[in-house]
Amino acid sequence: MIMHLAALFLAIIVSPLFVSSSQIEQIGSNQNDPDAAKLRISQLESVLEETTQKVKEREKLIQDAESQILDLHSASYSFESGLPLVQERISELEEEVKLLWAALRTANFDLHVLEDKARDAERQVKATAFEVKQMTEVVTEQWIQVQHLEQMKEFNNRRNHVPSRCTLLKLMSDIRWEVKNALSQLRSLWAAVTKYHHQLQGFIKHEMERNQITSALANSEVVFFMASALITFPVFGAWLLFSA
């Protein structure tokens, strides 16, 4: 670009001089004729005026070229002075991109960990529900066996009963025996229910504490209520079944 401006500058300076010299030589060829001399003077004045105009135009072009050179120097300096800032900003952006990639990888890893924990918790809940169901079936089966034994005993007592004239003492003795037998059965049943109730409370509390979702609810009131419900509902259902 600078070489192009230099060549333009040289052409601006030389071309008016070259044109003026050729015209002067052409006019000076008729110096012996007076009319030709006047014509020559007029032509010289015209050439001078034309040359002056061209010189002014060339000066304007020179000024424009110098202004362009200054603008180019200024732009070059601005570019060179701003280049370190651009490089610094590029480095900052590259560092930010690296940090974002690192944060994205960390977030993906945390997401996989949470998904694994959720799957483990779901498996634990299913296992706990299956064990509770098995214990409920065992309690229900034992309650049904107790009812069968009670019915068989009552049937045998009725079958072996022989109507006779009973005294008040025998009647009181039979009533006392029946009450004692009933109380003994109730104690046995209550002991079995209490035993299973305590075992079921420990099992429910242990399984709830293993799960992060239900560990916050593993207090004594909630555990007691769940164990009571798991024992009471099957017993009540069996009682309704046999009473019908």
**pLDDT single digits (tens) 158-200:** 666 544 445 666 667 777 777 777 677 767 766 766 776 677 7
What does DSSP assign to residue 164? -
User: Can you tell me the distance from the alpha carbon of 58 to that of 23, in angstroms, rounded to the nearest whole number?
Assistant: 19
CB-based burial label for 19 (10 Å; 0-12, 13-18, 19+): middle
Other C-beta atoms lying within 10 Å of the C-beta of residue 33: 10
Decide if 69 is inside a domain. yes
Residue 163 is predicted with a pLDDT of 47
Residues 236 and 143 grouped into a single domain: yes
> 153 in a domain, yes or no?
yes
Look at residues 73, 108, 143 and tell me which one is the last residue of a structural domain. 108
Q: Is residue 114 part of a domain?
A: no
- Say whether both 157 and 178 belong to one domain: yes
**Residue whose pair of structure tokens reads 């049937």 in the numeric block:** 155
Domain assignment of residue 54, given as a range: 2-108
The number of domains in the chain is: 2
DSSP letter at 162 equals -
Kindly calculate the radius of gyration of the chain based on its CA atoms and give it in whole angstroms: 59
Domain edge (last residue) among 108, 133, 149: 108
CA–CA gap between residue 188 and residue 108 (Å, rounded): 58
Please answer whether residues 200 and 231 qualify as being in contact, where contact means their C-beta atoms are separated by less than 8 angstroms. yes
Q: Any idea which residue has 């069968």 for tokens?
A: 148
What residue type is assigned to position 124 of the chain?
Q
Does residue 34 sit within a domain?
yes
Measured CA to CA in angstroms, residue 202 lies from 30, 84, 127, 198 at distances of: 137, 71, 16, 6
Q: Is the pTM of this model over 0.85?
A: no
Output 89-98 pairs: Cβ under 8 A, ≥24 positions apart: none
Q: Are residues 104 and 125 in the same domain?
A: no
Q: Is residue 113 part of a domain?
A: no
CA angle 138, 141, 143 (to 5 degrees): 110
Which DSSP letter does residue 146 get?
H
Query: Does 68 reside within a domain?
Result: yes
Q: Which residues of the chain have pLDDT under 70?
A: 1-38, 75-83, 86, 121, 158-171, 182, 186, 189-190, 192-193, 196-197, 212-214, 216-218, 231-244
| Residue 147 resides in a domain | yes
Single-letter residue type at 234: P
Which among 156, 145, 134 has a CA at the least distance from the CA of 238? 145
- Could you give phi then psi for residue 143, rounded to 5 degrees? -65, -40
∠ at Cα 51 (60, 26), nearest 5°? 155
Give the three-class secondary structure for 32. Answer: coil
Pair (87, 23) in one structural domain: yes
CA distance 193 to 121: 30
Q: What is the pLDDT of residue 24?
A: 47
CB count in 10 Å sphere of residue 227: 22
**Cβ(16)–Cβ(58) below 8 Å:** yes
At residue 2, the pLDDT reads 47
Please indicate, yes or no, whether residues 140 and 177 belong to a single structural domain of this protein: yes
Whether residue 9 lies inside any domain: the answer is yes
Shared domain check, 130 and 224: yes
